[in-house]
């Protein structure tokens, strides 16, 4: 079965799919043409609000747009760039964890709460204490504990990282530094910059601990290096199947969708392979969810917009597992 474009009437991206009750809800970011110049820090992505879509038949059902569930004007601490978000339910409340830039130009994670999965959501007056960066994914384990995975190389993480210039003659070029003038380098034999994982407080409003690195190991049990094409880049997602934790993410500068598996929500995770080759557009940002006995991969590409300033459209297709639990590679037709 070919992929389905879920919502052709608008440009949306970064879909976080979740099942609440008997319905599947998709929480995307909302692309718009803001006239900002393209840059490697994602400054042209000037999203200002979130919608939620829902459906009860993935390939044939009507997609319901429940409208705006949170606008940047309703978030006291956020100035702009309402990027990726995800929602988790706990004790009958729904918690939207989102990333946005504050008035100092720094990305943080925020929380907004609703009594219904379709919102609207009311934002907390301050961002999560100690939070930083982008691309939150929220995972509730079987014991009810909630974990947040987040991180991204461009657009957030580099504001906390400067590689020493002494490595410039033998390192790996990562791109322009935040000052937009000098190159960033990293020695090829050091571990790749990681994603992060943190357990949330019982009320899902704060971190319950300091964020930990999400370590991805190669088949020899060594952490992936900065030079590895399968290193983490952004777009963390966690799902669980048959007691195994699957950490999936968009890779390096190639934007391949890869995954690694582990025995704990904290990892470490062992690299397993590629799920999807790079799509047309900016990163292979995705989510994986089981609904009515079938597994689905949600993602986006820029084909309908002809890649104009990276306006993206939501897609979905079936995902299949082998008997040993590995994921079969998907073809983006």
Which residues are catalytic, by number? 14, 234
Q: What are residue 23's phi and psi, to 5 degrees?
A: -125, 150
- How many angstroms separate the CA atoms of 184 and 176, rounded? 6
Taking the alpha carbons at both ends of the chain, their separation in whole angstroms is 10
C-alpha 240, offset from chain centre: 16
- How many angstroms separate the CA atoms of 289 and 301, rounded? 19
The DSSP 8-state label assigned to residue 307 in this structure reads T
Q: What is the largest CA-CA distance in the chain?
A: 57
- How many angstroms separate the CA atoms of 8 and 26, rounded? 14
- How many angstroms separate the CA atoms of 158 and 171, rounded? 17
CA distances from 103 to 20, 106, 107, 313 (A): 34, 7, 9, 29
């Amino acid at each position: 079965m070919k992929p389905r474009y879920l919502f052709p009437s608008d440009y949306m991206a970064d879909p976080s799919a979740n099942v609440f009750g008997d319905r599947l809800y998709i929480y995307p970011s909302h692309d718009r043409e803001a006239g900002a110049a393209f840059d490697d820090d994602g400054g042209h992505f000037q999203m200002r609000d979130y919608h939620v879509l829902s459906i009860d038949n993935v390939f044939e059902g009507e997609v319901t747009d429940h409208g705006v569930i949170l606008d940047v004007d309703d978030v006291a601490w956020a100035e702009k760039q309402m990027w990726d978000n995800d929602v988790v339910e706990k004790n009958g409340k729904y918690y939207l964890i989102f990333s946005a830039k504050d008035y100092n130009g720094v990305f943080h994670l925020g929380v907004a709460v609703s009594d219904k999965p379709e919102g609207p959501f009311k934002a907390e007056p301050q961002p999560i204490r100690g939070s930083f960066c982008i691309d939150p994914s929220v995972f509730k384990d079987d014991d009810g504990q909630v974990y947040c995975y987040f991180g991204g190389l461009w657009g957030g993480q580099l504001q906390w990282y400067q590689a020493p210039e002494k490595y410039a003659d033998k390192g790996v070029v990562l791109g322009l530094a935040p000052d937009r003038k000098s190159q960033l380098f990293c020695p090829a034999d050091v571990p790749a910059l990681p994603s992060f994982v943190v357990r949330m407080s019982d009320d899902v409003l704060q971190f319950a601990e300091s964020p930990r690195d999400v370590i991805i190991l190669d088949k020899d049990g060594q952490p992936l290096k900065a030079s590895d094409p399968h290193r983490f880049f952004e777009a963390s997602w966690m799902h669980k199947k048959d007691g195994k934790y699957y950490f999936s993410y968009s890779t390096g500068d190639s934007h391949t969708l890869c995954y690694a598996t582990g025995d704990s929500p904290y990892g470490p995770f062992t690299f397993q392979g590629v799920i999807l080759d790079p799509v047309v557009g900016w990163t292979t940002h995705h989510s994986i969810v089981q609904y009515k006995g079938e597994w689905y991969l949600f993602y986006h590409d820029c084909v309908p917009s002809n890649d104009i300033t990276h306006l993206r459209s939501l897609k979905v297709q079936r995902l299949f597992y082998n008997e040993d639990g590995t994921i079969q590679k998907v073809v983006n037709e």
